[in-house]
């Protein structure tokens, strides 16, 4: 019987599984968002940082050379779009960039999860990969909140708070972890709907998936299944 740790799809053999680099880059992006004064070019740097996160994820999870080549074209187009945001404050451009980056992060999350479930034996590396995916979900919703706010006619938050980048990402993390400080709350129906989705997704991901992986550390899913 072939071990599930052996490559089972094209490109899997190219996986570096260096998820620590992905995790570290995510921390850098979050730090930059929260502590650097917002400006057009700060948004550009954050966007380029996320693109780097996606590229590091693809390298860590393994893809075929052809897929990686095609990815460079997509990433190049996304980078041009991100840089264009440094020259305008147009709501449509900001929203397009936000949704595009969020979509890229969703792909990155799916790549990480696919690689985690390709493994038969769960190690620390797989737990780190899951945590990196969890943070990326929070980042993705931060960009979605920001993009939605750019297209909204009124303020995104209650109490007349329009919100800036640090607000949206802070709000996303607080929502996903259900801390519920109450200092920010969505003022629109679409905002409330997004909050419900993120809360459910974040809790299911953390309580079910991450907890499962931690509980399986050093164990083989195949071996456990054969004992039942």
What is the per-residue pLDDT across 92-142, written as a single tens digit (0 to 9) for each? 999 999 999 999 999 999 999 999 988 888 899 999 999 999 999 999 999
- 152: helix, coil or strand? coil
Task: Tell me how far apart the alpha carbons of residues 169 and 182 are, in angstroms, rounded to a whole number.
Answer: 15
Task: Residue 168: count other Cβ atoms within 10 Å of its Cβ.
Answer: 23
What is the per-residue pLDDT across 68-88, written as a single tens digit (0 to 9) for each? 999 999 999 999 999 999 898
Percent of the chain with pLDDT over 70: 93
Report the mean per-residue pLDDT for the chain.
Answer: 89
pLDDT of residue 226: 43
**Residue 6 scores a pLDDT above 60:** no
Q: Is 178 exposed, middle or buried (0-12, 13-18, 19+ CB in 10 A)?
A: exposed
Percent of the chain with pLDDT over 90: 65
Identify which has the larger pLDDT, 223 or 50: 50
Cβ distance 126 to 119 under 8 Å? yes
Q: Where are the alpha helices (DSSP H) in the chain?
A: 19-35, 40-61, 65-84, 91-118, 124-151, 165-176, 189-204, 211-215, 221-227
**Residue 174 scores a pLDDT above 90:** yes
> What average pLDDT does this structure show over 10-32?
93
Task: Tell me how far apart the alpha carbons of residues 147 and 100 are, in angstroms, rounded to a whole number.
Answer: 10
> What average pLDDT does this structure show over 173-188?
89
Tokens, residue 95 = 């929203």
pLDDT of residue 209: 87
Task: Give 158-165 contacts, CB < 8 A, sequence gap 24+.
Answer: 158/184, 158/185, 158/186, 158/187, 164/38, 165/33, 165/38, 165/42, 165/43, 165/46
**Residue 62 scores a pLDDT above 90:** yes
Cβ distance 108 to 57 under 8 Å? yes
């Amino acid at each position: 019987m072939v071990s599930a740790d052996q490559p089972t799809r094209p490109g899997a053999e190219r996986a570096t599984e260096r998820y620590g680099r992905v995790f570290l880059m995510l921390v850098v992006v979050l730090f930059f968002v929260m502590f650097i004064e917002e400006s057009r070019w700060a948004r550009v740097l954050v966007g380029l940082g996320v693109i780097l996160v996606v590229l590091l994820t693809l390298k860590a999870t393994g893809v075929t050379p052809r897929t990686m080549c095609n990815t460079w074209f997509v990433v190049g187009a996304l980078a041009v779009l991100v840089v264009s945001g440094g020259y305008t404050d147009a709501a449509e451009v900001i929203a397009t960039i936000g949704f595009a980056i969020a979509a890229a992060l969703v792909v990155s999350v799916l790549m990480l999860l696919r690689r985690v479930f390709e493994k038969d034996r769960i190690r620390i590396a797989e737990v780190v990969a899951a945590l990196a995916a969890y943070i990326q979900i929070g980042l993705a919703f931060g960009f979605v909140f920001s993009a939605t706010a750019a297209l909204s006619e009124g303020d995104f938050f209650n109490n007349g708070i329009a919100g800036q980048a640090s607000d949206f990402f802070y709000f996303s993390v607080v929502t996903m972890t259900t801390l519920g400080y109450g200092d920010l709350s969505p003022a629109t129906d679409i905002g409330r709907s997004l909050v419900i989705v993120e809360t459910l997704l974040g809790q299911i991901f953390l309580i079910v998936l991450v907890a499962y992986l931690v509980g399986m550390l050093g164990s083989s899913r195949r071996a456990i299944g054969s004992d039942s």
